[in-house]
Structure 1
């Protein structure tokens, strides 16, 4: 099974190209900065992961994805190789996005004040302990 799920911030607007052929295909490339769960001294806090979207997904990325936006993608890992101009073998590993989602509200990316509750390192908000169990709809 080859499945990748990522959530991170776009490091810049997607770079878009169109494939050659009878029906040009949109190819959008972008990089996600994905926070590491554990941080060791001297190591970076995030990994920068190259992603690519084709066709309708590429059109979506071109139209809606912007630098700094938090997005989530589901896709597959793809490794490709080629010989460069000097005859050296080069390798590239990309995540081919099959599903793309916005991972934050529209207002939180527009410079509005942060929510009243403090977000934890793993991206979740604490439970409001003032709510009684009887008030929950699924008891």
Structure 2
């Protein structure tokens, strides 16, 4: 049987590191994941807010390097938990138990508020004037091959 999930989205809040009674590091956070399609009524993409739990070194890594709004790629398994609320009602929650978490953006992207867009393919990153020779240097032939 297979239970693998990969999601990519932005953290909805800063993760906080907690420890169990025996000292194991744990953190939980939510990731906002846009759907691939737009709603017919509103013309906007819907967003799913997916709960994630990370343990041990993965939890410490997330708390040290990720902040609210940062793009994350989460790899793990889907877990369904049954629990009782304060009124004694049975509840059920789905969450991703993370095995690996990767950066989904660059640090430069996150520092600029996510508005950074790299130059399009084929467009110069800064102004550039080509030399009159078309960018190619003349090769002088001396009759001998260099190899």
Deviant stretches of 4+, over 6 Å: none
Partners of 2:6 and 2:102 lie apart in 1 by 11
Deviations 1:101-128 (A, max 9, x none): 00111111111742222xxxxxxxxx65
Matching residue of 2:26 = 27
Q: Note the residue ranges of structure 1 that are not aligned, 5 or more in a row.
A: 118-126, 129-139
Distance 1:113 1:92 in 2: 35
Do the aligned residues in 1 keep the contact of 2:109 with 2:116 (CA within 8 Å)? yes
* Matched ranges for 1:98-137 at <5 A: 98-111=99-112, 113-117=116-120, 128=122
For residue 68 of structure 1, what is the aligned residue in structure 2? Answer: 69
**Paired residues of 2:34 and 2:45 also in contact (CA < 8 A):** no
1:8 corresponds in structure 2 to 9
Look at both structures and tell me which one has the larger radius of gyration over its CA atoms: 2
The TM-score, its normalising length taken from structure 2, stands at 0.73
The 10-residue stretch of structure 1 (67-76 or 41-50) with the greater mean CA deviation from structure 2: 41-50
TM-score w.r.t. length of structure 1: 0.77
Deviates more, 1:105-114 or 1:68-77: 105-114
- More off after superposition, 43-52 vs 88-97: 43-52
Describe how 1:48-59 pairs up with structure 2 within 5 A: 48-59=49-60
Query: After superposition, what is the alpha-carbon deviation per residue over 1:4-55, rounded to whole angstroms, capped at 9, x for unaligned?
Result: 001101111013221012xx11111111011100011347621110001001
- SS of the residue aligned with 1:36? strand
Mapped to 2, the partners of 1:79 and 1:15 lie a distance apart of 22
Work out the number of aligned pairs and report it. 118
